[in-house]
Structure 1
Amino acid sequence: MTKKRRLKKEFKWGLALVASLLVVCIAFCIFGSNDDSVDRGEVVDGIDVSHYQGKINWEKVRDKHPNIQFVYIKAIEGSSRPDENYRRNFEEAKKAGFMVGSYIFYHTMTSPERHFEEFKKLAPKSEQDLIPVVDVETLDHKSPELVRKRLIRLLDLMEQYYGKKPIIYTHDWFYNKYLKCKRIDKHKLMIANYNGKEPSCDYCIWQFTETGRLKGIKSHHVDLSRFNKNYTIADILLVND
Structure 2
Amino acid sequence: MPPARKTTSRTTTKKPVTRKKRSTKKTFAQKHKLKFIITLVVLLLFSPLYYGKLFRTAVSTGRWVKDLFIFDEYPNDDEFGIRIPRKYHVHGIDVSSYQGKINWEKVVAMESYNVKLSFAFIKATEGVTLVDSYFQRNWRESKEAGIIRGAYHYFKPKKSGKWQAKFFLQTVNLEAGDLPPVIDIEETGGLSKLELQLNLQEFLNEIEAKSKTKPIIYTGYKFFEDNLKEKFGDYTIWIAHYYQPKLKLPETAWHFWQHADNAHIDGIKGKVDMNVFNGDEVDLSTLLIQKSY
Alignment TM-score, normalising by the size of structure 2: 0.65
Q: What are structure 1's unaligned runs of at least 5 residues?
A: 1-32
Q: Encode CA deviations 1:13-45: one digit per residue, 9 max, x unaligned.
A: xxxxxxxxxxxxxxxxxxxx7631379979561
C-alpha deviation, 1:77, in angstroms: 1.0
Residue identity matched to 1:225 = N
In the alignment, structure 1 residue 185 sits paired with structure 2 residue 233: yes
Alignment TM-score, normalising by the size of structure 1: 0.78
In the alignment, structure 1 residue 107 sits paired with structure 2 residue 173: no
Map 1:115-194 → 2, pairs under 5 A: 115-126=164-175, 129-182=178-231, 184-194=232-242
The structure with the largest alpha-carbon Rg is 2
User: Hey, what's the Cα distance between the residues in 2 that align with 1:40 and 1:217?
Assistant: 22
Q: Encode CA deviations 1:191-238: one digit per residue, 9 max, x unaligned.
A: 0111413142510011100111111112x2111100124783124311
Is the CA contact 1:199–1:206 (under 8 Å) kept in the aligned structure 2? no
| Pick aligned residue for 2:120 from 51, 71, 78 | 71
In the alignment, structure 1 residue 88 sits paired with structure 2 residue 137: yes
Aligned to 2:278: 228
Aligned to 1:237: 288
Aligned to 2:74: none
Q: What are structure 2's unaligned runs of at least 5 residues?
A: 1-77
Q: Encode CA deviations 1:108-128: one digit per residue, 9 max, x unaligned.
A: 111012101110111133376
Aligned to 2:106: 60
Aligned-residue identity in percent: 33
User: Hey, what's the Cα distance between the residues in 2 that align with 1:96 and 1:171?
Assistant: 30
**Divergent runs of 4+, >4 A:** 38-44
Is the CA contact 2:238–2:258 (under 8 Å) kept in the aligned structure 1? yes
| Pick aligned residue for 1:213 from 253, 264, 275 | 264
Of 193-202 and 147-156, deviating more is 193-202
Aligned to 1:16: none
Cα RMSD (Å): 2.3
Aligned residues: 206
Is the CA contact 1:44–1:224 (under 8 Å) kept in the aligned structure 2? no
